[in-house]
């Protein structure tokens, strides 16, 4: 390949994300046109932009986690159950089932430091005006640190795995 294996997956992630953003924007427009009184409207364009940044950063963290889990196939025979498990954990800790801010204080404080919260619950609250710019900046700092850590982990796992790899017939 003329480029690294990871770049191929990065490009796929980019393609998938652009498609999802386009579909989400279309659905939002249809919903707003059909029932403006019942549709979630951002408190400001700035809040929408902040929410979008956090969603994209969180999505990239997810991508890195799933790439790393897939790379565990160098050692494990089957990894699909790890992928499903990761979705459960990310979904729950992000607030896909119950908003993190509505959870008991102990849960809220613990989950607030993880990127899933800043990818799901926090963007919604930014759009609703419950969180402000200060929260956004705090979230960006936190997610950036986790993104860097996850990328380092991804590189480390990939290199270790590649060192173990023996191609068919070799």
Partner 1 sequence: MAARAGALRGSRDVSGSEQEGAAGGRHVPWRRAASALRWGLAVERQYIRIGFVRKSQFRVEFVNQVLMDLCFYAAFILTFEILYGLGGEGTLTLGGWSHEEMRVYMGMVFVADGLFMTFLGQQWHFGQDLKDGNLDAFRVRPGSPAFLYFFQRFSPEGMTNLAFGLGWLIFALAGVMPELVDPADLAWALPAAVAVIAWSQVFLMLAYNVTEFWLLNSDVGHLVSMLVSNFGERPLEVYPGALARVLKFVVPVAGMAWYPASLVLGRLELGFALGYPLVLAAFALVVLGLFRRGMRRYESAMG
Q: Residue numbers of the site for partner 1 (CB under 8 A)?
A: 76-79, 81-82, 84-85, 88-89, 91-92, 97-98, 102-104, 107
Report residue 6 CA to chain centroid gap.
18
Give the HSE-up count for residue 136: Cα atoms under 13 Å, Cβ half-sphere: 20
Taking the C-alpha atoms of residue 158 and residue 86, their distance in angstroms, rounded to an integer, is: 19
Nearer residue to partner 1 within complex by CB, 37 or 81: 81
**CB atoms closer than 10 angstroms to residue 156:** 12
Whether 147 and 67 have beta carbons less than 8 Å apart is answered as: no
Nearer residue to partner 1 within complex by CB, 102 or 144: 102
Q: Is the dihedral of CA 9, 154, 69, 56 positive or negative?
A: negative
For the bound state, the minimum distance from the C-beta of residue 68 to partner 1, rounded and expressed in Å, comes to 15
For the bound state, the minimum distance from the C-beta of residue 165 to partner 1, rounded and expressed in Å, comes to 19
For the bound state, the minimum distance from the C-beta of residue 86 to partner 1, rounded and expressed in Å, comes to 9
Q: Is the dihedral of CA 106, 109, 111, 113 positive or negative?
A: negative
For the bound state, the minimum distance from the C-beta of residue 79 to partner 1, rounded and expressed in Å, comes to 8
Nearer residue to partner 1 within complex by CB, 87 or 156: 87
Nearer residue to partner 1 within complex by CB, 32 or 75: 75
């Amino acid at each position: 390949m003329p480029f690294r294996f990871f770049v191929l997956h990065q490009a796929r992630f980019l393609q998938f994300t652009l498609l999802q953003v386009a579909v989400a924007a279309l659905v939002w427009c249809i919903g707003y046109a059909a029932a403006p009184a019942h549709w979630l409207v951002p408190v400001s364009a700035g809040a929408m932009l902040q929410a979008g940044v956090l969603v994209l950063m969180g999505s990239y963290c997810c991508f890195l986690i799933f790439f790393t889990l897939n790379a565990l196939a160098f050692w494990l025979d089957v990894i699909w159950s790890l992928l499903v498990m990761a979705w459960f954990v990310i979904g729950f800790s992000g607030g896909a089932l119950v908003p993190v801010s509505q959870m008991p204080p102990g849960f809220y404080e613990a989950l607030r430091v993880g990127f899933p919260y800043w990818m799901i619950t926090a963007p919604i609250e930014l759009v609703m005006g419950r969180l402000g710019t200060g929260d956004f900046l705090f979230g960006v700092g936190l997610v950036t640190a986790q993104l860097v850590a996850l990328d380092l982990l991804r590189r480390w796992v990939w290199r270790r795995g590649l060192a173990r790899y023996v191609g068919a017939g070799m």
